[in-house]
Structure 1
Amino acid sequence: MKTGLENIEQHLKQQTKKPPLDLWHPELCGDIDIVIKANGDWFHDGFPIKRQSLIKLFSTILRREEDGDYYLLTPVEKWRIQVEQTALIIVDMDVVNAGQPDQKIIFTSNVDDQYTLGEKYPLTVSSVGNSNEAIPFVCLEQKLTAKLVRAVFYRLADLAVEKNGGFVVASEGLEFAIG
């Protein structure tokens, strides 16, 4: 008999693009022993998931709901997982047209998705999860967030300018406070 994890993996192998999670509302099947650690590592039954391709697949069906919990979804299954801080990690960034009015900051996540800092993907600095530490993160679809690793935050801080007693970075014509 297949486990919930094997059923999810089998269903995902048939996907060719990101699934329409906003259309899926299955009943809760239960909890599955998957934990996303604060450093972005994924664990199942206490062991690290080493296959990056599997982590990428699972990230496409991950949603945070109004109750604050995280779920892996298929059209017919919903499994609650644990997330220590944020679901994803921002591991790199690029700047297009640096210093120009049309500057864009593009972040890359630990699952190779890219997000352009702007109205759709804003930057926030606050405490997340069990931490009281101020953490910079990007707000994503499905109520998910992606924490900036320290090196990316330092690169972002290098772009900051002082404004009204604080520091901001600009992207897509908008300004974002970095603390």
Structure 2
Amino acid sequence: MSLNRLISELEKHQHAPTELWDPPYCGEIPIHIAANGDWFYQGSQIKRQALVKLFASVLVVEEGDYFLVTPAEKVKITVEDTPFVVVDWEQREEDGEQLLLLTTNIGDTLVLSSEHPLTMKEGIPYIVMQRGLTARVHRNVFYQWVSHAESRTVDGQEQWYLSSAGETFVLGNVK
């Protein structure tokens, strides 16, 4: 299976076609996504994973604000940090190329790649997902990456990095 086909298969059916809808804004609703990826409605945790996945499938971000969008309405929700968390990963080789497959807290899988790159903000690792959404990398996953990372020297500074899908992603400097 080619890399492009694998990525395409992983991303199928994970998001509704919200870009095709232009519903009216209907205000805010008391849905909140905590920094650990837990979803809450009126202060109570939503424990049904299927319901969380349904909400996530219609989640969009516009200018830093998060909305749930359906063909009939668009409602604003609050997000503490990012809506998703990378909770697991797996190394795989496809067509002689090393891939890191990432799994989020809602079960979405994506490949660490130029399409879904690693970014660092204030020392915290994030993955850019589709439609401008992001996932924070869980601390346990990050520590596993550090133990798996290779080092190299760039401009006199030793760095840890990962390779996936033909790209190199810097985890940080070796102190």
Classify the secondary structure of the residue corresponding to 1:120: coil
**Whole-Å separation in 2 of the counterparts to 1:103 and 1:157:** 17
Partner of residue 4, structure 2: none
Please, what TM-score do these two structures have when normalized by structure 2?
0.84
CA contact (8 A) 1:101 1:173 kept: no
Classify the secondary structure of the residue corresponding to 1:81: strand
Partner of residue 130, structure 2: 141
Q: Deviations over 1:33-57 (max 9, x none)?
A: 0000001111101111111110011
Partner of residue 76, structure 2: 80
- How many angstroms does 1:25 deviate by? 2.3
Residue among 99, 107, 110 paired with 2:102 = 107
CA contact (8 A) 2:88 2:103 kept: yes
- Alpha-carbon distance change, 176 to 61 in structure 1, aligned in 2, over 3 angstroms: same
Residue among 40, 45, 53 paired with 2:50 = 53
- Alpha-carbon distance change, 145 to 17 in structure 1, aligned in 2, over 3 angstroms: closer
**Whole-Å separation in 1 of the counterparts to 2:14 and 2:140:** 31
**Whole-Å separation in 2 of the counterparts to 1:155 and 1:103:** 17
CA contact (8 A) 1:118 1:172 kept: yes
**Whole-Å separation in 2 of the counterparts to 1:93 and 1:105:** 7
Residue among 27, 49, 69 paired with 2:65 = 69
**Whole-Å separation in 2 of the counterparts to 1:18 and 1:86:** 17
Residue among 21, 31, 44 paired with 2:28 = 31
Partner of residue 161, structure 1: 150
Partner of residue 175, structure 1: 168
CA contact (8 A) 2:14 2:108 kept: no
CA contact (8 A) 2:15 2:56 kept: no
- How many angstroms does 1:18 deviate by? 3.2
Classify the secondary structure of the residue corresponding to 1:29: strand
- How many angstroms does 1:159 deviate by? 2.2
- How many angstroms does 1:108 deviate by? 0.3
Q: Deviations over 1:37-80 (max 9, x none)?
A: 00111110111111111001111000111x21000000121010
**Whole-Å separation in 1 of the counterparts to 2:30 and 2:109:** 28
Partner of residue 20, structure 1: 17
Aligned pairs, number: 156
CA RMSD of aligned residues (A): 1.8
Moved more, 151-160 or 105-114: 151-160
Mind listing any 5+ residue stretches in structure 2 that lack a counterpart?
1-12
**Whole-Å separation in 2 of the counterparts to 1:18 and 1:167:** 33
